[in-house]
Structure 1
């Protein structure tokens, strides 16, 4: 088992979740149950799957949860691009979030690759 609170991927994804919530608080009210909700849920999913996977007894199980976290990263990237298309985000806001997300995705992938399965 891994101590998820000590994992940099968990810390960064948790911080990223806060950034998503801060950013989406400025989305139009009619998006409360649309992109705002989807982005919030997907961003929570990253750190949550890292935490849940870390409790598993095998690295193979943990690896599966990391795959799910990566899937959530790709989901968020798509949603951020759509939010940008709809002018809910500026290009610089979108780029900043997508760059941070890309770093998190790479970190999770690298961590997953070093797990002994």
Structure 2
């Protein structure tokens, strides 16, 4: 089976893992958050690897860097939603810290990738 270039990126694989984690954690959120935080967190978590994948298909390094910026922004959006979820008592301190570590790892890798495209 052919692997596309984005599938070979560690950061994309990390982002897929994070999205899966978010889906699993939000299963336990209150039902009234179905169209609120659950939806927002799931969309922003899926947006990270989606933008990474789309960026690799772009022809110019400027376009590639732009999609890395979008992926980075989605990661910070997710972190904001995770902080709110912790404050509301929907996420334990342990789950919050685990997600925060994953987001930090992912954003560092996205920054490196973005800088690579900018300097190339």
Q: How many residues align?
A: 116
1:32-90 superposed Cα distances (whole Å, 9 cap, x missing partner): 00000000000000000000110001111010000000000110111000000000011
Task: Compute the displacement of 1:113 (Å).
Answer: 1.1
- From 10, 27, 30, the counterpart of 1:28: 30
TM-score of the superposed pair, with normalisation by structure 2: 0.93
Task: Quote the Cα distance in structure 2 between the aligned partners of 1:43 and 1:13.
Answer: 8
TM-score of the superposed pair, with normalisation by structure 1: 0.95
Task: Quote the Cα distance in structure 2 between the aligned partners of 1:15 and 1:90.
Answer: 19
Is 2:13 aligned against 1:8?
Answer: no
Unaligned segments of structure 1, at least 5 residues: none
Task: Quote the Cα distance in structure 1 between the aligned partners of 2:101 and 2:47.
Answer: 18
Q: CA RMSD in A?
A: 1.1
Unaligned segments of structure 2, at least 5 residues: none
Matching of residues 1-117 of structure 1 within 5 Å: 3-115=5-117, 116-117=119-120
Task: Quote the Cα distance in structure 1 between the aligned partners of 2:45 and 2:34.
Answer: 15
Task: Quote the Cα distance in structure 1 between the aligned partners of 2:56 and 2:34.
Answer: 32
Task: Compute the displacement of 1:97 (Å).
Answer: 0.6
